[in-house]
Every structure is written in C-alpha cells, then in structure tokens.
C-alpha cells in the first residue's frame, strides 16, 4: 500500500506491462492478473491477507475505446460486466442473478478529473464488437476489483488510459504501443490524489 493524502491506497493493475517508470516512482501495485477471474481472486486474496485494509483501492491501467482519444486518461464513473447474461432465466443482461446490486456499479470519483463509463469483460474488444457495448471504454478487470473491494467494505476508484480502440486491434503491439505514453499520463493523474 501507498500513503497518499493521509489515506492508505492499494493500486491494482492487471500486468506489469502497464507499470512503467513514472508509475514506479509513485507506488508499488498489486499485480492481480488479466481478466475478471484473476483480478477478483488476486484482489480478494490480497485484501484477506492484510493486517489492515486500505482506505481506497485504485484499479489502474489501460482500456480500449472507439470514441475516447488515444493516450487520454479517464476517471471511471461506473462499471458494468458485459459477459454476464442470465436473460434466459429472466434477468436483464448485465445483472448478476440473486445479487443485491444492479448491472451498473458507481465508483468513487475523488478527484477533479473527467469521467467515463467502463465495461469489463473477459474478451479483448475491437472493431465492430464495440457496437454491442453501452460504455465509453472497455477493460478486463475493474468490475472484478470493485466487487472484491465491496466484499471487504473498501471503496474503489478507477483510472484508465486509452491504449487502443479505433479500428481493429492488431496483435500485442497494438495494445503495448501506447503504454509508455499512458504510464506518464496516469502518473500525472495519480499525483492529483494527494
């Protein structure tokens, strides 16, 4: 955990690919893993092992978007889980059956920074796949991190930098190409947490 502005903050990232030198000057993250299952398990296990829980969790890293500019950074206003579909048994798409929360979860937005809606899923989105998604940007972890945080009573905020999205994503390099730019841009926004 990192102490920022009088709070203990846990930064959660999917992979160290997104953790560059600028972010490394500010915090050491929990690398929870890629995708909703790994993110939920990694975050929950880490929280369960802590002697004292953090005051805030920050789900931070890259995201795709067809509409937001490459290299821009957004505070997550809300998140949905695009893979959840129990509509065949009468639940609206995105609603977890028999849960006490809806399809869209609001996140903490503690800084004065632009917000956008996020959709989490187990797939890498590209091209026309965006047509079916009702959100400004997509990732693979934030919904899971939020649910883990909720289970432990810890608020979660999200910071996402746009690494890809317009057009079709072309192999690993199509994602990693912007990560250096996002490292510096995300670090500047992290500084606002203080």
CB 81 within 8 A of CB 94: yes
Taking residues 6-21, report their average pLDDT: 95
CB 145 within 8 A of CB 156: yes
Taking residues 25-47, report their average pLDDT: 97
pLDDT in tens, 159-194: 999 987 765 556 544 556 777 889 999 999 999 998
* Of 77 and 180, the one with more pLDDT: 77
Count CB neighbours of 154 within 10 A. Answer: 20
Helix (H, G, I), strand (E, B) or coil at 152: coil
- Residue appearing with tokens 């057009």: 167
SS3 of 61-117: EEEECCCCCCCCEEEEEEEEECCCCCHHHCCCCCCCCCCCCCCEEECCCCCCCCEEE
Taking residues 151-157, report their average pLDDT: 97
* Of 178 and 94, the one with more pLDDT: 94
Q: Which of 86, 161, 167 is nearest to 118 (CA)?
A: 161
CA dist., res. 194 & res. 185, Å (int): 16
* Lowest mean pLDDT across 102-106, 138-142, 174-178: 174-178
CA dist., res. 51 & res. 49, Å (int): 7
């Amino acid at each position: 955990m990192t102490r920022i502005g009088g709070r203990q903050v846990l930064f959660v990232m999917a992979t160290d690919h997104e953790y560059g030198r600028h972010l490394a000057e500010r915090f050491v993250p929990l690398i929870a893993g890629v995708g909703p299952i790994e993110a939920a398990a990694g975050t929950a296990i880490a929280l369960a092992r802590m002697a004292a829980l953090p005051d805030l969790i920050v789900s931070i890293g890259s995201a795709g978007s067809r509409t937001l500019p490459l290299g821009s950074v957004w505070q997550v206003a809300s998140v949905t889980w695009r893979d959840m579909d129990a509509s065949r048994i009468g639940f609206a798409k995105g609603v977890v059956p028999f849960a006490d929360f809806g399809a869209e979860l609001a996140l903490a937005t503690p800084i004065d920074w632009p917000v956008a809606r996020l959709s989490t899923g187990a797939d890498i989105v590209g091209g026309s796949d965006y047509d079916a998604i009702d959100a400004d940007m997509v990732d693979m972890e934030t919904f899971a991190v939020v649910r883990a945080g909720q289970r432990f009573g810890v608020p979660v905020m999200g910071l996402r930098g746009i690494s890809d999205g317009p057009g079709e994503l072309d192999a690993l390099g199509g994602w990693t190409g912007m990560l250096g730019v996002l490292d510096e841009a995300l670090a500047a926004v992290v500084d606002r947490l203080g």
